[in-house]
Amino acid sequence: MYRIIDISEEVNKALKEGKPIVALESTIISHGMPYPENIETAKAVETIVRENGATPATIAIINGRIKIGLNEKELEFLSTAKDILKASRRDLPVILAKRLNAATTVSATMICANFVGIKIFVTGGIGGVHRGVEETLDISADLQELAKTDVAVVSSGAKSILDLPRTLEYLETLGVPVIGFKTEEFPAFYSRGSGLKVNYMVEDEVEAARVVKIKWDLGLKGGVLITNPIPEAHTLENNYIEKIIEKAIFEADKRGIRGKNLTPFLLERIKNLTEGKSLKANIELVKNNARVGASIAVQLNHLYQGE
């Protein structure tokens, strides 16, 4: 595997010294935000991870090589290039064999992080069961990955463009623990609450780390979904954002936009319909998740070192 993996000097040093590391996805850079907000957010999130005691490892595929930790030139490339693919589990072998460039989704980032032993991953929102699934059968590979790959994911729930009740049902079927970080309610990405309950709540980073470690100590495969609500100051009111999401989904359906193109289209349309409020919310929730994820990584590291 290491013949096709490049680990940055910073991440490699942290791995060798047994320091806490946080994986970060790259789809948010290439497909989730416009320029220059995408690269500004990517750099800010890495800084936040460092300030909270962990090493950031942004993951992507460049020229057919898995990059664990990106330099400034690589971040700039991902934020501006137009031919960046979107890599999920199914895409990895083809993209690597053809030596292409791709941003990694939640599922692909989990896989690549697990290759090198990174156990905590921070993102904005995971994928899930799409609305109208009874007709499209559109279910994100992120959910299956959470069931099989030993990486804990810190997110603000699932993207609110999805069918959240069915997403939670599917996670239950797969045996994935859904943990609320200081909340009993499943976050709805742009909004702090969805009206849906999480399986369990943890009071702090120490308790979250204990849950993660004990799961794997028991030999239970798969990840843990740790849901962290968007900060109160940046939350969008549920009814307001739901009406906009419904309008964006209607437009996507009318244009026949599906599959990998659907989520980027919806996020861009929602950004325009909210006059940028959704983008601001997205940026703030990712930063908040980075703070929490880095703190959990530090506590998990303490537990593994017997401190």
Point out the residues that are catalytic: 25, 159
Sequence ranges of the binding site for Mn(2+): 138
Looking at this protein, which amino acid is placed at residue 26?
Answer: S
Q: Which pLDDT belongs to residue 202?
A: 98
Percent of the chain with pLDDT over 90: 87
Sequence ranges of the binding site for substrate: 86, 106, 140-142
pLDDT of 2 above 70:
no
Q: Which tens digits make up the pLDDT trace of 170-228?
A: 999 999 999 999 999 999 999 999 999 999 999 999 999 999 999 999 999 999 999 99
Q: Which pLDDT belongs to residue 260?
A: 73
Backbone angles phi, psi at 73, to 5 degrees: -65, -40
| pTM, rounded to two decimals | 0.94
Across the range 258-262, mean pLDDT stands at 79
Q: Which of 53, 68, 48, 46 is nearest to 20 (CA)?
A: 53
Q: Which pLDDT belongs to residue 1?
A: 64
Sequence ranges of the binding site: 86, 106, 138, 140-142
Domain extent, residue 126, equals 2-304
Q: Which tens digits make up the pLDDT trace of 115-148?
A: 999 999 999 999 999 988 988 888 999 999 999 9
| Structural domains in the chain (count) | 1
Across the range 249-254, mean pLDDT stands at 90
3-state secondary structure 140-191: CHHHHHHHHCCCEEEECEECCCECHHHHHHHHHHHCCCEEEECCCECCECCE
| Cis amide bond preceding 36, omega within 30 | yes
pLDDT of 99 above 70:
yes
CATH number, position 131: 3.40.1790.10
CA distance 248 to 182: 31
pLDDT of 235 above 90:
yes
Q: Which pLDDT belongs to residue 159?
A: 84
